[in-house]
Structure 1
Amino acid sequence: MDTRELRFARAMVFAIEEINNSSDLLPGITLGYQIHDSCASVPVAVQLAFQFANGLQQLYDSKKGCVRSGRVTAIVGESGSTPTISMSRIIGPFDIPQVSHFATCACLSDKTQYPTFFRTIPSDQFQADALAKLVKHFGWTWIGAVRSNSDYGNNGMASFLRAAHKEGICVEYSESFYRTDPQSKIQQVADVIRRFMS
């Protein structure tokens, strides 16, 4: 179990209950929620996004005596950038807002690709700019870079490479691997690093 994600969910539940119990914050409005766990898995996040786009299970309105489909009005999450990107591409055309508390990929700031995505945390562009300035501060003019072969890692590296170029830093190589890659791929990345270290 990811205890960090559990803390995020509990904080959201607490905030919603505080809002619902206050007569000053949203008078006459009661907020509801459902919590789903994607387990940081892109396929599970995509499956959930399709469920949200199709509506929730049937709801029975006791006043009208009829059954209607619940509509998702907003999504809070994902935490990771890669599952967020996948979800946003599916729910964006349905105009379902997605607010992430932890997805930091600078690519998500592109409103043409992600028109309904919002965040409560700065994008990684600030981190890329800061890393490039740090490299320049130490006088390093020739560097190598290694990243995760994921949407988050690839977009983050692209941001860093742009920032490094602006600072006049030469990036000799930019290698990627993913944690599930075979040993041969990881060995290949290690060989590239060794070749430029000697």
Structure 2
Amino acid sequence: MTEIKDQVLAFIGPDESCASEALVAAAWNIPLISYKCIDQKLSNKTIYPTFARTLPPSSKISKSIISLLKYFNWNTIVLIVSGNPTNKQVQESLIKLANEHHIQINLKYHLPDHYLSRYQQILEKIIDDSNERTRSKKNQ
């Protein structure tokens, strides 16, 4: 990679984990534009001065979700998260903010990274459980 450094104007990507790549780009003073990386720590411009993203960090995504829940007065939820690292960061941030805003998470489900139609029965059960846990009379 070092042999092409002088011929590169910018890097685009990677999509999941990008902290190491952002450090290299910063050391070389080359812009790195990520289209999927949401890691909050990359917002530190002292360490990652050449990093930019097209998606907000996980903390901003979680704040938006909490705002939506509060707008509709939804105080009891079920959390369904796929197993990729990006979604795990959002989950951690969302759990923290939900606690701060007194939003109860009744159930947490983790789906495999690449869930396909073969998981239809699992998803139907999750929906039924969610409906029962969040819309029962005692929760209203």
**Aligned-pair identity (%):** 10
1:36-69 deviation digits (Å, cap 9, x = unpaired): xxxxxxxxxxxxxxxx2x432xxxxxxxxxxxxx
The alpha-carbon distance between structure 1 residues 149 and 72, as it changes in their structure 2 partners (threshold 3 A), is farther
Shift of 1:147: 2.4
Verify: 1:195 aligned to 2:129, yes or no.
Answer: yes
The structure that has the greater radius of gyration is 1
Verify: 1:139 aligned to 2:73, yes or no.
Answer: yes
Indicate conservation of the 8 Å contact 2:82/2:112, yes or no: yes
Verify: 1:100 aligned to 2:48, yes or no.
Answer: no
Partner of 1:164: 98
Partner of 2:51: 118
User: Aligned match of 2:20 in 83, 89, 112?
Assistant: 89
1:121-154 deviation digits (Å, cap 9, x = unpaired): 4424223112102212211111012223212211
The alpha-carbon distance between structure 1 residues 74 and 165, as it changes in their structure 2 partners (threshold 3 A), is farther
Higher relative contact order (CA 8 A, sep 6+): 2
The count of corresponding residues between Structure 1 and Structure 2 is 128
What SS class does the counterpart of residue 89 from structure 1 fall into? helix
Equivalent runs, 1:1-198 vs 2, <5 Å:
52=1, 54-56=2-4, 71=6, 75-78=10-13, 80=15, 82=16, 85=17, 87-89=18-20, 92=23, 95-96=27-28, 97-103=30-36, 105-109=38-42, 111=44, 115-116=47-48, 118-121=51-54, 122-178=56-112, 180-181=114-115, 187-198=121-132
CA distance in 2: counterparts of 1:162 and 1:99, whole angstroms: 29
Shift of 1:104: 5.0
The amino acid that maps onto 2:3 is: G
Q: Which runs of 5+ in 1 are unaligned?
A: 1-51, 57-69
What SS class does the counterpart of residue 102 from structure 2 fall into? coil
Q: Which runs of 5+ in 2 are unaligned?
A: 133-140
Indicate conservation of the 8 Å contact 1:133/1:167, yes or no: no
Indicate conservation of the 8 Å contact 2:81/2:110, yes or no: yes
CA distance in 2: counterparts of 1:161 and 1:108, whole angstroms: 18
